Structure 1
Amino acid sequence: MYSIAASSFFSPKLPKNLPFHNPNRPLFAIVRSSSVAQEIDKSSEERTESLGLKGLEFPAIKGAKRVVLVRHGQSTWNAEGRIQGSSDFSVLTSKGESQAETSRQMLIDDSFDICFSSPLRRSKRTAEIIWGAREEEIITDSDMREIDLYSFQGLLKHEGKAKYGEAFRQWQIDAPNFIIDGHYPVRELWARAKSCWDKILVHESKSVLVVAHNAVNQALVATAIGLGTEYFRILLQSNCGVSVLDFTPQPEGGTPSICLNRLNQTPGSPVAGGSSAGRKTSKRIVLVCHGVSESDLESSMPYTGNGPLNMLGNIQAQKIAELLLDLKVNTVVSGTKIASVETADTITKVQEAADCLGADCIPRYVETKQIPDLDVESILTQSKKDAPGLQNLSSGWLNRLEDDVNTSLWDQSGKSWKHLLYELSKGSDQDNVVIAVGHPALHIAMMGHCLNLTKEWLGSFHLNAGSITVIDFPDGPSGRGVIRCINYTAHLGRWSIPITRSTQADEEY
């Protein structure tokens, strides 16, 4: 094992909202809190010059590259509720070792060229378990350590609250602007994440495993797809959760196209439990991509949903329904296409029968709705792009559609998202779980609306048939959504797509 030294263990103070640039994104973002929408213009020449970050880009790559991020298993300080930061006093618990072994089994058939790891013991041990008997050395890099929390490190959460009062409150509710010991930890972390990507992308490898920590993995995901520090704690990273990013070279060189293929595929169920980033939540939307239909084999557009589910689609629907038994679902909504309706029906029947094991029981009622606004297939079929590429559903495939098609998709999905938030708002303060079944393109676009992005981000996310995406609302439907997982497919078992299988043509540029 060998190491890469940190560029600076204690980073200098940095300005907020660093404008990391991905060529497929506009140089601005709309940032929304629970009650305020603020537009931050990132295209200003004067602003970027004052930050000293003008022209900041990712290194060009010669061929497609896939990077798999894994958070370490449960540590002793995780179990104690102690603030770890970049300290190195905690080690994996027996549960953490078991989680790492589960991740090893999940990735055992997947090929990696190289493994990068944080040097901290809890991460390095997780990497060693997952890496197993592979001959290549693990590269440790200090820039992949956890967020530096300075005087907070080692404190129990109630101790931090008692000792630091207002500063601890700011860390909880406004982390990007949180300052301690003269440092802005989240802003420093975002800058450090960019440094990590520079080193990962210049390495001559096609498939990379990175084992690190909660906050740094959040920063790696966010900076890759062009999101600023305001997205801290919005893209969850559970213990041993797996996230995948695809990097595709541009023919003209320069910064590659980047797509988040999946987020936080965990060893355990993604729908069990009721907290997000340590906050209790009773409101949740689960986006379900319908199973494969008979017509998908004949259509030029993937997952048209016009025909009934085929054998694989029925298996996918059943597996989804079984996974969702960990939830008490209130409402299942879908579009009107046959594949969506049949997938929704399977979920509903399993939910209603779940509590009815005795002869005298009364099945629980689950409300079902078919909403035409959730149908986007007619929009997608307006595209005149070559069908073979679309049928493969490679990462970022929505980028290849015409601008007017994506504009229509974006506008339609905005209406769909409002329908879901309305359904979620029912029932006062009671628990409410809404399942939405539809086309992958619809759900990708609705995720964009949830994150308050624009249509230029449509190619930044990927979903497969039969996958689920979970969004929690700890502050209720009017608050920010917290993404618990994206494109979760572990429930499909042998019918799921291997995590490191390339989704791009193996082509040199």
Structure 2
Amino acid sequence: MYSVRDRLPTGPAQDEHCCGERFAVRGWCCDDPAAKFGDVDVSERTYLYLLRHGATDANQRRPYVLQGQGTDGPLSQAGRTQARRAAEALAHLPIHTVFASPLKRSRETAAIVAEPHGAQVRVVPEITEVDVGEWEAMSWNAVMERYPEQYRRFMSDPAVFPYAGGESYADVARRVVPALEAILREHDGHVAVVGHNVVNRVFLAHLLGVELRRARTLRQSNCGINVIRRKGDEIELITLNGVLHLESE
């Protein structure tokens, strides 16, 4: 059973995989200055802290370029700083395991987050980033020029229409949702997962009951933190893309 707090549209947002409105979860918004993602009751059964990895050079390029599973670069200096700030923000919590995808940007972030806890880092292949196929490392403007019809179809419904030569959001959901639900079921206490932009959005859309085609409207900042709680069979999203720890960037 999923128990989700009130969903509110909060205005436009843009990034390398995103266009359109954002969502808040009862006041928890990607840029809500009142957000306190670390304000949790540690007596509860399971808390999963779902992060997006720290920034890479590709994330910092302008115009934005797509970075899927075909790009495996390390964190940039800014990305390492973001990861350290996320680690500091979570340091007071009894996190015993940090899960990462096989990609360097996820594994490096996970190692930094795990260090204050002496926690184990475990790689989960199913949470690797979306395969963007032929659009890897391309800007959206370049995609529109070279793949106009495929771009139009993808933007109309990415759950059905894939990145050219890559995955659709439904493809991502088929591997990501079971993997993250298994972590929630099988690991009591406090765990962290370092995922990716589309990976996180697809899972959060699943929790929120948002249509999969609209998952791209759920913004995920580099090293933003989502807090998910499981108590018995109930899974609840507590915080969506908490970023207070990154505000001094």
Which range, TM-score by smaller chain? 0.7 to 0.9
CA shift digits 1:23-66 (9 cap, x unpaired): 669xxxxxxxxxxxxxxxxxxxxxxxxxxxxxxxxxxxxx7211
Q: Is it true that 1:121 corresponds to 2:104 in the alignment?
A: yes
CA contact (8 A) 1:118 1:141 kept: yes
What is the aligned partner in structure 2 of residue 164 from structure 1? Answer: 147
Distance 1:259 1:90 in 2: 33
What is the aligned partner in structure 2 of residue 199 from structure 1? Answer: 182
Q: Which runs of 5+ in 2 are unaligned?
A: 5-43
Q: Give the 3-state SS of the residue equivalent to 2:227 in structure 1.
A: strand
Q: Give the 3-state SS of the residue equivalent to 2:241 in structure 1.
A: strand
CA gap of 1:151–1:139, structure 2 versus 1, over 3 A, is same
CA gap of 1:217–1:179, structure 2 versus 1, over 3 A, is closer
CA contact (8 A) 2:96 2:120 kept: no
CA shift digits 1:66-115 (9 cap, x unpaired): 11101111111111222111123322111111111111111111111211
CA contact (8 A) 1:113 1:205 kept: no
Q: Is it true that 1:76 corresponds to 2:54 in the alignment?
A: no
Distance 2:84 2:165 in 1: 40
Indicate the structure (1 or 2) with the bigger Cα radius of gyration.
1
Q: Is it true that 1:94 corresponds to 2:77 in the alignment?
A: yes
Q: Give the 3-state SS of the residue equivalent to 1:88 in structure 2.
A: coil
Amino acid of the residue matched to residue 195 of structure 1? P
Higher strand share: 2
What is the aligned partner in structure 2 of residue 66 from structure 1? Answer: 47
Higher mean alpha-carbon deviation, 90-99 vs 200-209, is at 200-209
Amino acid of the residue matched to residue 120 of structure 1? L
CA gap of 1:199–1:24, structure 2 versus 1, over 3 A, is closer
CA contact (8 A) 1:245 1:260 kept: yes
CA gap of 1:225–1:171, structure 2 versus 1, over 3 A, is same
Within a 5 Å distance, the mapping from 1:259-408 to structure 2 comes to 259-266=236-243, 267-269=245-247
Q: Give the 3-state SS of the residue equivalent to 1:138 in structure 2.
A: strand
Q: Give the 3-state SS of the residue equivalent to 1:77 in structure 2.
A: helix
- 1:120 Cα deviation (Å)? 0.5
CA contact (8 A) 2:2 2:236 kept: no
- 1:180 Cα deviation (Å)? 4.3
Distance 1:76 1:183 in 2: 22
Amino acid of the residue matched to residue 45 of structure 2? A
CA shift digits 1:228-284 (9 cap, x unpaired): 3133122211011000011111xxxxxx112111011113349x9xxxxxxxxxxxx
What is the aligned partner in structure 2 of residue 152 from structure 1? Answer: 135
Amino acid of the residue matched to residue 161 of structure 1? M
What is the aligned partner in structure 2 of residue 242 from structure 1? Answer: 225
Distance 2:195 2:129 in 1: 7
CA shift digits 1:378-436 (9 cap, x unpaired): xxxxxxxxxxxxxxxxxxxxxxxxxxxxxxxxxxxxxxxxxxxxxxxxxxxxxxxxxxx
CA contact (8 A) 1:218 1:236 kept: yes
Structure 1 length-normalised TM: 0.38
- 1:179 Cα deviation (Å)? 2.9
CA contact (8 A) 2:87 2:116 kept: no
What is the aligned partner in structure 1 of residue 13 from structure 2? Answer: none
CA gap of 1:95–1:182, structure 2 versus 1, over 3 A, is closer
CA contact (8 A) 1:225 1:258 kept: no
CA contact (8 A) 2:133 2:167 kept: no
CA contact (8 A) 1:73 1:99 kept: yes
Calculate the aligned-residue CA RMSD, in Å: 2.4
- 1:169 Cα deviation (Å)? 3.3
CA gap of 1:99–1:158, structure 2 versus 1, over 3 A, is same
Amino acid of the residue matched to residue 84 of structure 2? E
CA gap of 1:181–1:233, structure 2 versus 1, over 3 A, is closer
Structure 2 length-normalised TM: 0.75
CA contact (8 A) 2:66 2:137 kept: yes
CA contact (8 A) 1:84 1:153 kept: yes
Amino acid of the residue matched to residue 51 of structure 2? V
Distance 1:244 1:23 in 2: 14
CA gap of 1:179–1:144, structure 2 versus 1, over 3 A, is closer
Greater length-normalized contact order (CA 8 Å, ≥ 6 residues apart):
2
- 1:225 Cα deviation (Å)? 3.8
What is the aligned partner in structure 1 of residue 215 from structure 2? Answer: 232
Q: Give the 3-state SS of the residue equivalent to 1:175 in structure 2.
A: coil
Amino acid of the residue matched to residue 58 of structure 2? W
Give the fraction of aligned pairs with identical amino acids, expressed as a percent: 26
